[in-house]
Protein backbone atom coordinates (compact mmCIF):
# COMPACT_ATOMS: atom_id res chain seq x y z
CA UNK A 1 0.00 0.00 0.00
CA UNK A 2 1.12 3.54 -0.67
CA UNK A 3 1.19 6.27 1.98
CA UNK A 4 -2.26 7.63 1.08
CA UNK A 5 -3.77 4.16 1.45
CA UNK A 6 -2.08 3.73 4.84
CA UNK A 7 -3.56 7.05 5.98
CA UNK A 8 -7.02 5.91 4.94
CA UNK A 9 -6.48 2.62 6.76
CA UNK A 10 -5.61 4.23 10.10
CA UNK A 11 -8.30 6.88 9.62
CA UNK A 12 -10.91 4.14 9.48
CA UNK A 13 -9.32 2.24 12.37
CA UNK A 14 -9.69 5.31 14.60
CA UNK A 15 -13.48 4.98 14.37
CA UNK A 16 -13.23 2.22 17.00
CA UNK A 17 -12.38 4.95 19.53
CA UNK A 18 -15.38 7.14 18.70
CA UNK A 19 -18.43 6.77 20.94
CA UNK A 20 -21.83 7.67 19.47
CA UNK A 21 -23.47 10.64 21.13
CA UNK A 22 -20.22 12.12 22.42
CA UNK A 23 -18.02 15.01 21.29
CA UNK A 24 -14.78 14.04 19.58
CA UNK A 25 -11.57 16.08 19.47
CA UNK A 26 -10.21 16.33 15.94
CA UNK A 27 -6.66 17.24 14.94
CA UNK A 28 -5.20 18.52 11.69
CA UNK A 29 -3.43 17.15 8.64
CA UNK A 30 -3.81 14.78 5.73
CA UNK A 31 -4.20 11.69 7.93
CA UNK A 32 -6.86 13.45 9.99
CA UNK A 33 -8.62 14.39 6.75
CA UNK A 34 -8.96 10.65 6.13
CA UNK A 35 -10.40 10.18 9.63
CA UNK A 36 -12.94 12.98 9.12
CA UNK A 37 -14.04 11.45 5.82
CA UNK A 38 -14.32 8.02 7.44
CA UNK A 39 -16.33 9.44 10.35
CA UNK A 40 -18.76 11.11 7.96
CA UNK A 41 -19.17 7.91 5.93
CA UNK A 42 -19.56 5.69 9.01
CA UNK A 43 -22.93 7.00 10.12
CA UNK A 44 -21.70 7.27 13.72
CA UNK A 45 -23.85 9.99 15.27
CA UNK A 46 -21.50 12.14 17.31
CA UNK A 47 -22.74 15.16 19.25
CA UNK A 48 -20.13 17.27 17.53
CA UNK A 49 -16.42 17.90 17.27
CA UNK A 50 -13.87 20.29 18.71
CA UNK A 51 -11.47 21.16 15.92
CA UNK A 52 -7.82 22.18 16.15
CA UNK A 53 -7.68 24.22 12.93
CA UNK A 54 -9.68 26.17 10.39
CA UNK A 55 -8.76 23.48 7.86
CA UNK A 56 -10.36 20.70 9.89
CA UNK A 57 -13.32 22.88 10.82
CA UNK A 58 -14.12 23.44 7.15
CA UNK A 59 -13.88 19.74 6.36
CA UNK A 60 -16.06 18.74 9.31
CA UNK A 61 -18.70 21.32 8.43
CA UNK A 62 -18.63 20.25 4.79
CA UNK A 63 -19.67 16.79 5.99
CA UNK A 64 -22.41 18.22 8.21
CA UNK A 65 -20.59 17.52 11.48
CA UNK A 66 -21.24 20.21 14.08
CA UNK A 67 -18.12 22.02 15.28
CA UNK A 68 -18.11 23.28 18.88
CA UNK A 69 -15.92 25.93 20.44
CA UNK A 70 -13.33 24.58 22.88
CA UNK A 71 -14.52 27.18 25.40
CA UNK A 72 -17.94 25.50 25.49
CA UNK A 73 -16.57 22.02 26.25
CA UNK A 74 -15.36 20.91 29.68
CA UNK A 75 -13.79 17.68 28.53
CA UNK A 76 -13.46 15.13 25.74
CA UNK A 77 -13.27 11.36 25.84
CA UNK A 78 -10.87 11.17 22.92
CA UNK A 79 -8.69 13.34 20.72
CA UNK A 80 -7.62 11.91 17.37
CA UNK A 81 -4.67 13.42 15.53
CA UNK A 82 -1.59 12.56 13.53
CA UNK A 83 2.09 13.14 14.27
CA UNK A 84 5.24 14.06 12.40
CA UNK A 85 7.20 11.73 14.72
CA UNK A 86 6.28 9.42 17.59
CA UNK A 87 8.65 7.45 19.80
CA UNK A 88 8.28 4.24 21.79
CA UNK A 89 6.83 6.10 24.79
CA UNK A 90 4.08 7.92 22.91
CA UNK A 91 5.94 11.24 22.90
CA UNK A 92 5.49 13.13 19.64
CA UNK A 93 6.71 15.95 17.45
CA UNK A 94 3.81 17.79 15.85
CA UNK A 95 3.21 21.02 13.97
CA UNK A 96 4.19 20.31 10.40
CA UNK A 97 0.82 21.78 9.45
CA UNK A 98 1.35 24.82 11.73
CA UNK A 99 -1.62 23.94 13.97
CA UNK A 100 0.39 22.83 17.03
CA UNK A 101 -0.98 25.41 19.47
CA UNK A 102 -4.63 24.58 18.92
CA UNK A 103 -3.76 20.88 18.71
CA UNK A 104 -2.18 21.04 22.16
CA UNK A 105 -5.18 22.96 23.56
CA UNK A 106 -7.68 20.39 22.29
CA UNK A 107 -5.46 17.47 23.31
CA UNK A 108 -5.38 18.87 26.84
CA UNK A 109 -9.18 18.63 27.00
CA UNK A 110 -9.15 14.92 26.22
CA UNK A 111 -8.89 11.86 28.43
CA UNK A 112 -7.18 9.87 25.66
CA UNK A 113 -4.96 10.89 22.73
CA UNK A 114 -5.18 8.45 19.81
CA UNK A 115 -2.38 9.08 17.31
CA UNK A 116 -2.93 7.90 13.73
CA UNK A 117 0.17 7.62 11.56
CA UNK A 118 2.00 5.51 9.03
CA UNK A 119 4.91 3.37 10.13
CA UNK A 120 7.52 5.85 8.86
CA UNK A 121 6.60 8.22 11.73
CA UNK A 122 7.81 5.80 14.45
CA UNK A 123 11.33 6.80 15.54
CA UNK A 124 13.72 5.78 18.34
CA UNK A 125 14.53 9.41 19.26
CA UNK A 126 12.62 12.57 18.39
CA UNK A 127 14.35 15.32 16.40
CA UNK A 128 15.03 14.13 12.87
CA UNK A 129 11.87 15.88 11.66
CA UNK A 130 12.35 19.66 11.93
CA UNK A 131 10.81 20.73 15.24
CA UNK A 132 8.03 23.31 14.76
CA UNK A 133 7.79 26.10 17.33
CA UNK A 134 5.06 28.74 17.19
CA UNK A 135 6.46 32.10 18.24
CA UNK A 136 5.71 35.78 18.67
CA UNK A 137 7.38 37.38 15.62
CA UNK A 138 9.51 39.93 17.53
CA UNK A 139 11.25 37.11 19.41
CA UNK A 140 12.46 35.25 16.31
CA UNK A 141 16.11 36.32 16.37
CA UNK A 142 16.69 35.70 20.06
CA UNK A 143 14.95 32.31 19.90
CA UNK A 144 17.14 31.32 16.97
CA UNK A 145 20.18 32.11 19.13
CA UNK A 146 18.80 30.05 22.04
CA UNK A 147 18.24 27.01 19.83
CA UNK A 148 21.76 27.43 18.42
CA UNK A 149 23.12 27.03 21.96
CA UNK A 150 21.36 23.65 22.09
CA UNK A 151 22.99 22.62 18.81
CA UNK A 152 19.93 23.32 16.67
CA UNK A 153 19.46 25.52 13.63
CA UNK A 154 16.16 27.42 13.62
CA UNK A 155 14.70 28.88 10.46
CA UNK A 156 11.56 30.93 10.00
CA UNK A 157 8.97 29.08 7.93
CA UNK A 158 8.52 31.42 4.99
CA UNK A 159 5.08 32.80 4.26
CA UNK A 160 3.34 31.00 7.13
CA UNK A 161 1.05 32.72 9.61
CA UNK A 162 -0.81 30.43 12.00
CA UNK A 163 -4.54 30.55 12.76
CA UNK A 164 -3.46 32.47 15.88
CA UNK A 165 -1.40 35.06 13.99
CA UNK A 166 1.93 33.57 15.08
CA UNK A 167 4.99 32.59 13.06
CA UNK A 168 6.72 29.19 12.93
CA UNK A 169 10.36 28.34 13.53
CA UNK A 170 11.52 24.95 12.24
CA UNK A 171 14.50 23.64 14.19
CA UNK A 172 16.87 21.02 12.78
CA UNK A 173 19.87 19.29 14.33
CA UNK A 174 18.25 18.34 17.64
CA UNK A 175 18.18 14.99 19.40
CA UNK A 176 15.39 15.15 21.96
CA UNK A 177 16.30 12.40 24.42
CA UNK A 178 14.20 13.76 27.30
CA UNK A 179 11.00 15.10 25.71
CA UNK A 180 9.31 16.04 28.99
CA UNK A 181 12.23 18.14 30.18
CA UNK A 182 12.76 19.67 26.73
CA UNK A 183 9.11 20.68 26.40
CA UNK A 184 9.06 22.20 29.89
CA UNK A 185 12.25 24.19 29.26
CA UNK A 186 11.47 25.60 25.82
CA UNK A 187 7.87 26.42 26.77
CA UNK A 188 9.23 28.93 29.30
CA UNK A 189 11.34 30.90 26.83
CA UNK A 190 9.92 34.39 26.25
CA UNK A 191 8.34 34.61 22.82
CA UNK A 192 7.50 30.90 22.53
CA UNK A 193 3.78 30.31 22.11
CA UNK A 194 3.97 26.52 21.76
CA UNK A 195 6.77 24.05 21.19
CA UNK A 196 5.89 21.11 18.96
CA UNK A 197 7.01 18.44 21.43
CA UNK A 198 3.93 16.68 22.80
CA UNK A 199 5.24 14.99 25.93
CA UNK A 200 2.87 16.22 28.62
CA UNK A 201 0.01 15.60 26.17
CA UNK A 202 1.43 12.39 24.76
CA UNK A 203 -0.43 9.64 22.93
CA UNK A 204 -1.95 6.80 24.92
CA UNK A 205 -2.61 4.82 21.74
CA UNK A 206 -0.97 4.88 18.32
CA UNK A 207 -2.62 3.27 15.32
CA UNK A 208 0.31 2.65 13.02
CA UNK A 209 -0.36 1.83 9.38
CA UNK A 210 1.98 -0.64 7.71
CA UNK A 211 1.88 -2.98 4.71
CA UNK A 212 0.61 -5.80 6.92
CA UNK A 213 -2.22 -3.68 8.34
CA UNK A 214 -2.80 -1.51 11.41
CA UNK A 215 -0.59 -2.11 14.42
CA UNK A 216 -1.91 -0.82 17.75
CA UNK A 217 0.67 0.55 20.17
CA UNK A 218 -0.32 1.47 23.73
CA UNK A 219 1.71 3.63 26.11
Catalytic residue IDs = 103
Q: Is residue 12 within 8 Å of residue 18, measured between CB atoms? A: no
CA distances from 22 to 45, 48, 65, 81, 116 (A): 8, 7, 12, 17, 20
Contacts of 206 (CB under 8 A, 6+ apart): 83, 86, 90, 114, 115, 116, 117, 122, 216, 217, 218, 219
Residue 116, Cα to own-chain centre: how many angstroms? Answer: 10
CA distance 105 to 123: 24
Amino acid sequence: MNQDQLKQLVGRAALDYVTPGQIVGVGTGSTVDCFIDALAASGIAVAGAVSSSERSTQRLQKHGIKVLDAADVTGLTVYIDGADEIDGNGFMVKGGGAALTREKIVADLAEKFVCIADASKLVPVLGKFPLPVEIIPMAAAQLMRRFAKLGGEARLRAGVVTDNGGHILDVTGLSITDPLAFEAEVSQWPGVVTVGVFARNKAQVCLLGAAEGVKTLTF
